[in-house]
A and B are shown apart, each in its own frame.
Chain A
């Protein structure tokens, strides 16, 4: 899986509640995108261009298990999330929804709007402005194929019909 897009930076410890405030938990899934990251920046979604890559600090998506937070990022056009570290449930949710999540140390070496290129299988994030490459711990093959196949629901569908 190869992904490229512009970096959109957020800080450390952005909680699942900040990604999607509780007020929208009961909203229809397709409406979640316009509230992505509203808890820290109500103008965030206006700046996102589909394909952008979210670049976050430590412990991204902590707290609540709400998968609606991951959906909100996906529906607002984010194509992958790169973070110094992820909260564990967010990480699982991202892979299950087919949203690549790469854990690597990038602090100070990516700026807002930098063009990034990601190779998910290799666990590489390349900053095309500086040429620098950041390495994420490789995902086990079963998680790579989960991601490459578009997430868990797609995997269940394929296996259910014996493809």
Chain B
């Protein structure tokens, strides 16, 4: 009905930047992606651009309102059904009539609008599956109605979270305005000691920068310690960029990226590398050679301490999973700690693989057997306890150590506390019934 005209929506008048001086320095990765996506030769931090979106992701909790609003507006077609990816993943199988209804809205949206990419309860968590199924391409501009959409920066994409209403705009027009972010370059040197992981690097970074240390900014994760990481670890690192307030957290695509994409990629991508003379707001170098396992303590994600200062804190629940740390490599780390050991009855350990692909691989490797023999409970892929909307919600006064990315007070239930750590720390803590250092087992 209205779609023919809404497609021509002018959301951002180009003249706004007219006359603005753009220095001729090189560009960061974020600037390059936004320049390409807005049809400009170059952009610089602080400018506003209207950009073409390469991929848009929604899930049932924050995205269902987008679908409903689109219908209410009488818009009968989306801009490109091949560039929209829809997930029912946060609370599957549905835990209530309300959730079931949101999931039904998404299924109907997918059917009525001919959306070509739909993942339902048999698939897994959006951020894992989007990468795993090859939707994320280097250099692409991706938005999702989820703040952890920054995860895809691991593959060199400019990817960020947006709200449900602006997703309506994206669905209708495929375009959105952005303010080009200044970039903070984080250079990690040295080599992680045994038992210390990408999660510990991510937590250390959040502790160093603070929860709003990179607000409105982009991050480039660089240096030999990042170059030497596999894709699973890069996804973990970029996933927590949001916990510094960052708009995006990106790793330059390299051989690891191409290897990961070889049998997955659904397209070419347009990889970007930062220019040698790109302008950074700041560059911070961090040596990870002597890093201890880190724990983000209740009540704030920036309240990060080395495990030696936190060990001994009593826990009730240990949660291994989420878009941060629910991948096969994470499950392996935890299984290594749990193998041949038994979790005491007073501790509830939950294992939630991030996707069905991860789950099946974990079964074939014998990891699930290890978890069950240790006394953990394994459930189907979904967001589970992480956001406090599905399995694993706790009672008042209870404490969870989790591989997730957030520990706002009450996140896993009113009056509860969450501590964030790596898969090995979570596994060691489950065995001890208190926060424990896996290197001391």
Contact = CB atoms under 8 A, between A and B. Distances in A.
Given A88-B245, A160-B6, A26 B16 contact: no
Interface stretch (A3-11, A13-21, A46-54, A112-120): A13-21
Interface in B84-130: 96, 98-99, 101-102
B241 to A, nearest CB: 12
B399 to A, nearest CB: 18
A160 B5 contact: yes
Contact of A23 (B69, B165, B388): B388
Contacts of A58: 212
Contacts of B388: 21-23
B163 A70 contact: yes
Contact of A65 (B73, B147, B411): B147
Contact of A152 (B75, B146, B168): B168
Given A27-B98, A62-B212, A140-B16, A161 B410 contact: no
B260 interface: no
B174 interface: no
B5 A65 contact: no
Contact of A13 (B101, B172, B212): B212
Given A39-B409, A93-B165, A161-B2, A156 B172 contact: yes
Chain A interface size, under 10 / 10 to 19 / 20 to 34 / 35 or more: 35 or more
Contact of B163 (A22, A25, A26, A89): A89
B325 interface: no
B163 A85 contact: no
Contacts of A148: none
A18 B211 CA distance: 15
A92 B162 contact: yes
Given A89-B163, A160-B2, A26 B13 contact: no
Nearest to B72: A153
B37 interface: no
17 contacts: A15-B408, A25-B62, A39-B409, A39-B410, A63-B147, A64-B62, A64-B387, A66-B61, A67-B65, A89-B163, A92-B166, A93-B163, A93-B165, A93-B166, A97-B165, A142-B11, A153-B168
Interface of B: 2, 5-6, 8-13, 16, 48, 61-62, 65, 69, 73-75, 96, 98-99, 101-102, 145-147, 149, 161-166, 168-169, 172, 177, 211-212, 215-216, 242, 245, 247, 300, 387-389, 406, 408-411, 414
B215 A88 contact: yes
A142 B165 contact: no
Contact of A159 (B5, B16, B149, B216): B5
Interface in A25-53: 25-27, 29, 39
A97 B164 CA distance: 10
Contacts, number: 135
Given A58-B212, A59-B211, A160-B73, A96 B408 contact: no
Given A17-B408, A142-B12, 11 more contacts: A21-B388, A21-B414, A39-B409, A59-B211, A63-B147, A93-B165, A140-B16, A142-B177, A159-B6, A160-B74, A161-B5
Contacts of A15: 408
A94 B274 CA distance: 32
B48 A140 contact: yes
Contacts of B212: 13, 58-59, 62, 85, 87
A22 B411 contact: yes
Nearest to B405: A63
A153 B102 contact: no
Contacts of A131: none
Contact of A141 (B2, B16, B102): B16
Contact of A67 (B98, B163, B411): B163
Contacts of A70: 163
A93 B65 CA distance: 13
A151 interface: yes
A-B pairs, top 7 by smallest CB distance, nearest first, are A59-B212, A26-B98, A93-B163, A67-B163, A65-B161, A65-B147, A160-B2
Nearest to B144: A65
A89 B2 contact: no
A156 B168 contact: yes
A159 B406 CA distance: 39
A159 B211 contact: no
Contacts of B414: 21, 23
A29 to B, nearest CB: 7
A108 interface: no
A65 B168 contact: no
Contacts of B62: 25, 64-68
Contacts of A29: 65
Contacts of B13: 141-142
A64 B387 CA distance: 9
Nearest to A66: B62
B165 A67 contact: yes
Contact of B5 (A59, A141, A142, A162): A162
A110 to B, nearest CB: 20
A89 B147 contact: yes
Contacts of B216: 88
